[in-house]
Chains A and B, each alone.
Chain A
Amino acid sequence: MHDLNTYLFVAAILFSFGVFGVMTRRNGIAILMSVELILNAANINFIAFSRFGGMNLDGHVFALLVIVLAAAEAAVALAIIINIYNNMNTINIDEASSMKE
């Protein structure tokens, strides 16, 4: 458990799940949740590299920033999704597209 690769492996799996979710889900909120997964995968990498790369607390600071940013992002994105729901009665992103040919 004191091996960098283990952390990177976990982060990679988490990232892949996130990307998969973003690509496949039709539900706006599910996509948001997948984005959170990607961000957290990045956080794990930050901390892992910080811990094993000898960079003191730099990675932690970044991780905290990312968490704050993710919270702000979630707030804005949820507001957008609520607005989409109010206007279009759906949160399915395929149906919400109005930029078709």
Chain B
Amino acid sequence: MDNIFISYSLFILFLPLAAFVIQILVGKRLPRQGDWVSVGAIFITLILSIAMFVAMLLGDNPDFRQEASFTWLDMGAFSIQLGFLVDNITVIMLVVVALISTCTHVFSLKYLEGDIRYSRYFAYLGLFTFSMYGIVLANNLVSMYMSWELVGVSSYLLIGHWFEKDTAADAAKKAFLTNRVGDIGFFIGIMLIYTAIGSFAFSDIFDGVATGMLSGTTLTLAGVGLFIGAMAKSSQFPLHIWLPDAMEGPTPVSALMHAATMVAAGVYLAVRLFPLFTPEALLVIAYVGGFTALFAATIAITQNDIKKVLAYSTVSQLGYMILAVGTGVYTAAFFHLLTHAMFKANLFYGSGSVIHSMHHALHEKRDHETDAQDMRNMGGFKEKMPITYWSMLVSTLAIAGVPLFSGFLSKDAILAGTLSFAQHHPEHFLLPVFGFGAAAITAFYMFRMMFMTFHGEPQMPELIDDIHESPKEMTGPLVLLGTLSVAIWYTLPHFNPISTHESWFTSLVQPVTAVVPGNLTAHAIEEGAHHAHNLAMGLSIGVAALGIGLAVLMYLKKVLSAETWGKRAGFMYDWSLNKYYFDENYDKYLYQPTIRLAKKIAWIDWELYDKYFINGFGHVTAWASRVTGKFDYDVIDQILVDGTGRITEIIGSRLKKIQTGKLQNYLLYVTAGVIVLMIIQSF
């Protein structure tokens, strides 16, 4: 039993890598461009992770934990261990990644059909899945950091899949570079921890923090450093700018990476490392998360691109999870990660289905100008795409926090935790305000999106006849994930639509107390959240109803005019539509000054350093080499080398005369020699 988990994990980790290698080497030459290799490999990992999941459910042990590690580098006192950690959180996360990845592979079969880099696309999906499993299975910071970087690379490759489009290439670069900013923070955090504790393994780190080897400001800094890594990956303010642009990638990729798994890696990191965050670090986390949740939601209101709405919605929901980690209810954060992965991936597949259909219709009309992703060109698709509509509706209800759907449970848990945190610390009353505000706005903009896309009159009536439901490779994942967005799966074995109390999730994922002194104990947090539960539930149903009601009035009944209200909001509308001018301001105050600084430094480098120092060195060296060259030629070559030769030649030319070839001459010399010897002898 024990080893099965570890050996399954090995297979789960390396099958996608094998698929990647096969695809990248011979993918193009295989039948069907080898898509079955990737799909098969991912499907096996799904089966294995479900097997682990079932084993975990049957085991029903909240303390279940398997670890295996080996020494990767050994340099005397310094050695790096790599390894696996399998516990309940790992197994649940594995199932999420495997499930969404499988759905994405299947969905892509049709969505990417006929693409020029079809096999390479599947290769990269395999690489991504491998790296994501690596993050999930890591038992130490080094493994995690390596996989973390690999995820960044595969994200770069997949966003830039259609790199012929400048926007896609730019978005890929932006995503990669923004993630690098976070990686630096992550790396600093790792180094701070290693310097103090001398180990990268999570268990050693927690032990070290518990025994006070690392504490105070350093620990806060380390925590914040690690969190900056999570911030970039999970697209938190102010590093959120890359995620909306990342929508340039193929839609299934957006569903897999930029909604369900890769961006959840930051949250996963925060959940994994929760015990080592100090109260100060947690406060930073809570405010970043809460602010992001509200801030991104206000942008999503005015976006017209269906994928941009979902992108900002993702940023906002990730903010929720981060907020939950910051307020101590990190199991709620993980729960929201789980439910969000299902409904948000589903929403993205739905948008992909719509876009696919729009593309098809526009293609029929030979129209290559109209934006297939602009919701202002849609409307009235409900009858034409019933499966897409209903599954998206379920997910929208889930994300809006309507009871009976999964999002309600997880969002409610987060809001209860936030509320309880504010009750403990009244000075942080802003956090629940962020949370509930974002919940209301989320409900509003999600229904706005649904109404604009599926209801009302078709905005382009000439297209509507060519809008068709997508093929079953695409509707399959939609139905599956739509089903999984219903609350009942998360409350089993009981059926309780308003609470996860005593469900499999709460019994398997139990919060542990942070090891840092000064934090509330897990018990206190749970008690508080439990007390705040009813109030939070009432409020969250209230704000969700408010948001949905407003959306109905504005976009379905059209009692309120969206345009008039937009005008009335004045500058706020403009700010929201232009994403608070973040890109522009970053460009003006960050990129341009950096470029100017870089140009100045380049000038110094070229004009001073290169011309005087480097070239000076060159001149001196050239002069010295001329002098030594002269010495070499005149003295060594001419006198020593040639001199030796000439002397030898002279002596030889003289000596050769005594070699006459006449035997009698030689005899004369011998005789003369003997006579000379005899004369010498006689003295």
Contact = CB atoms under 8 A, between A and B. Distances in A.
A23 B661 contact: no
Interface string B644-661: 000000000000000001
Contacts of B664: 22-24, 93
Contacts of A23: 664, 667-668, 671
A99 interface: yes
Contacts of A94: 662
Contacts of A19: 667, 671
Interface in A85-100: 93-94, 97, 99-100
Nearest to B656: A101
Contacts of A22: 664, 667
Interface residues on B, range: under 10
A23 to B, nearest CB: 5
Interface in B334-378: none
A101 to B, nearest CB: 7
Contact of A97 (B662, B667, B668, B671): B662
Nearest to A25: B664
A94 B661 CA distance: 9
Nearest to A99: B661
B75 interface: no
A59 B518 CA distance: 126
Interface string A11-31: 000000001001110000000
B656 to A, nearest CB: 9
Interface residues of A, number: 10
Contacts of B4: none
Contacts of A99: 661
Nearest to B674: A19
B267 to A, nearest CB: 98
A94 B662 CA distance: 7
B471 to A, nearest CB: 99
Interface string B662-673: 111001100100
Contacts of B667: 19, 22-23
A8 to B, nearest CB: 14
How would you classify the secondary structure of chain B's contact residues: helix, strand, loop or mixed?
A: helix
A77 B326 CA distance: 121
Contacts of B663: 93
A100 B661 contact: yes
Interface string B175-214: 0000000000000000000000000000000000000000
A99 B671 CA distance: 23
A19 B78 CA distance: 91
A67 to B, nearest CB: 24
Nearest to B666: A23
Contacts of A101: 661
Interface in A56-101: 93-94, 97, 99-101
Nearest to B663: A93
A19 B674 CA distance: 12
B666 to A, nearest CB: 10
A62 to B, nearest CB: 22
Nearest to A20: B671
Nearest to B659: A101
Question: Which of A19, A23, A93 has its CB near the most chain B CB atoms (within 10 A)?
Answer: A23
Contacts of B661: 97, 99-101
A97 B665 CA distance: 14
A23 B665 CA distance: 7
A42 to B, nearest CB: 15
A90 to B, nearest CB: 15
Interface in B377-431: none
A100 B659 CA distance: 10
Nearest to B665: A23
A51 B206 CA distance: 118
Interface in A33-67: none
B576 to A, nearest CB: 107
A23 B662 CA distance: 10
A24 B663 CA distance: 11
B652 to A, nearest CB: 14
A23 B667 CA distance: 7
B661 to A, nearest CB: 6
A93 B660 CA distance: 14
A57 B423 CA distance: 143
Contacts of B671: 19, 23
Contacts of B668: 23
A100 B661 CA distance: 7
A19 B671 CA distance: 8
Contacts of A93: 663-664
A34 to B, nearest CB: 11
Nearest to B671: A19
A99 B659 CA distance: 12
B659 to A, nearest CB: 9
A97 B659 CA distance: 14
A101 B671 CA distance: 25
Interface in B298-333: none
A23 B660 CA distance: 14
A19 to B, nearest CB: 6
A101 B659 CA distance: 10
Contacts of A24: 664
Nearest to A16: B671
A97 B671 CA distance: 22
A99 B663 CA distance: 11
A93 B664 CA distance: 10
Nearest to A101: B661
B206 to A, nearest CB: 96
A94 B667 CA distance: 14
A22 B671 CA distance: 11
A93 B661 CA distance: 11
17 contacts: A19-B667, A19-B671, A22-B664, A22-B667, A23-B664, A23-B667, A23-B668, A23-B671, A24-B664, A93-B663, A93-B664, A94-B662, A97-B661, A97-B662, A99-B661, A100-B661, A101-B661
Q: Which 8 interchain pairs have the tightest Cβ spacing?
A: A23-B664, A23-B668, A23-B667, A100-B661, A19-B671, A99-B661, A97-B661, A22-B667
Given A23-B671, A24-B664, A93-B663, 10 more contacts: A19-B667, A19-B671, A22-B667, A23-B667, A23-B668, A93-B664, A94-B662, A97-B661, A100-B661, A101-B661
Interface of B: 661-664, 667-668, 671
